[in-house]
């Protein structure tokens, strides 16, 4: 009697594990990083932002640098060749004849020559002059001499003019901008003062102060 051999069939079941990987996109973080994996040629652009804060500046100088207040002096007697002595009464007396007289003081740019400078980045600049006494320069004799007897000539009358002195109602002058669409002004000039000698005032020493003020918006 023959025995049939048993056939053992084994089915191998294959267990399949499906791994699903989920990749979340990485933000550019303000475009400070980027990547290119599309293939050559590769190109990557990143950005960097700049910020520069410029302070408002208005600088104005009349005369010597620092806190020095310069003096412009006219020794009329010395200029007329008489020193401090009496100017003799002769035909064509030069005192009060309208011939301008140069300053005799030793100023930074020479006798009666005052260097001026302005630097600003806040728009148009104007300069106003104010005198210490609306009656004029005060004499040690109790009299006054009008400020309009002092003439100011600028070496750059177009871009850096000087105010015309008077006892009152002095018109401000505008300084021409030099760059940045009219927002920046950097100018230098020399203001030269002379005594017009158009009157014959009483003998004495006349003194006064002019204050120049620069303003901007």
What is the spatial distance between Cα 211 and Cα 217, in angstroms, rounded to a whole number? 20
**SS3 of 77, please?**
helix
Segments of the chain assigned E as strands: 58-62, 101-102, 113-120, 125-131, 137-139, 144-145, 150-154, 173-175, 185-195, 206-207, 210-215
Let me know if residue 15 belongs to a domain.
no
Full residue range of the structural domain in which residue 207 is found: 58-86+93-215
pLDDT tens by residue, 13-55: 333 333 333 444 444 445 577 787 788 888 988 999 999 999 9
Tell me phi and psi for residue 146, to 5 degrees. Answer: -60, 140
Let me know if residue 46 belongs to a domain.
no
Let me know if residue 3 belongs to a domain.
no
Let me know if residue 21 belongs to a domain.
no
Let me know if residue 34 belongs to a domain.
no
Let me know if residue 28 belongs to a domain.
no
pLDDT computed for residue 38 by the predictor = 80
Let me know if residue 38 belongs to a domain.
no
**pTM of the predicted structure, to 2 decimals:** 0.78
pLDDT computed for residue 39 by the predictor = 80
Structurally, how many domains does the chain consist of?
Answer: 1
Residues of the chain with pLDDT under 70: 1-31, 82-93
pLDDT computed for residue 55 by the predictor = 96
What is the spatial distance between Cα 198 and Cα 165, in angstroms, rounded to a whole number? 15
pLDDT tens by residue, 199-212: 999 999 999 999 99
pLDDT computed for residue 87 by the predictor = 60
What is the spatial distance between Cα 169 and Cα 20, in angstroms, rounded to a whole number? 89
What is the spatial distance between Cα 199 and Cα 139, in angstroms, rounded to a whole number? 15
Let me know if residue 142 belongs to a domain.
yes
CATH of the domain at 68: 2.60.40
């Amino acid at each position: 009697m023959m025995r049939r051999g048993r056939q053992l069939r084994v089915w191998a079941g294959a267990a399949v594990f499906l791994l699903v990987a989920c990749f979340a996109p990485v933000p550019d973080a303000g475009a400070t990083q980027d990547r290119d994996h599309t293939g050559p040629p590769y190109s990557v652009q990143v950005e960097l932002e700049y910020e520069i804060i410029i302070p408002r500046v208005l600088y104005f100088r009349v005369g010597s640098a620092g806190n020095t207040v310069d003096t412009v002096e006219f020794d009329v007697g010395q200029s007329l060749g008489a020193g401090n002595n009496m100017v003799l009464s002769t035909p064509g007396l030069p005192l009060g004849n309208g011939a301008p007289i140069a300053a005799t003081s030793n100023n930074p740019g020479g006798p009666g020559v005052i260097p001026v400078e302005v630097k600003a980045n806040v728009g148009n600049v104007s300069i106003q002059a104010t005198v210490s006494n609306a009656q004029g320069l005060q004499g040690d004799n109790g009299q006054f001499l009008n400020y309009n007897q002092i003439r100011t000539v600028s070496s750059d009358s177009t871009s850096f003019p000087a105010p015309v002195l008077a006892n009152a109602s002095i018109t401000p002058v505008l300084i021409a901008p030099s760059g940045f669409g009219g927002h920046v002004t950097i100018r230098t000039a020399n203001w030269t003062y002379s005594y017009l000698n158009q009157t014959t005032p009483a003998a004495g020493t006349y003194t006064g102060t002019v204050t120049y003020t620069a303003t901007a918006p």
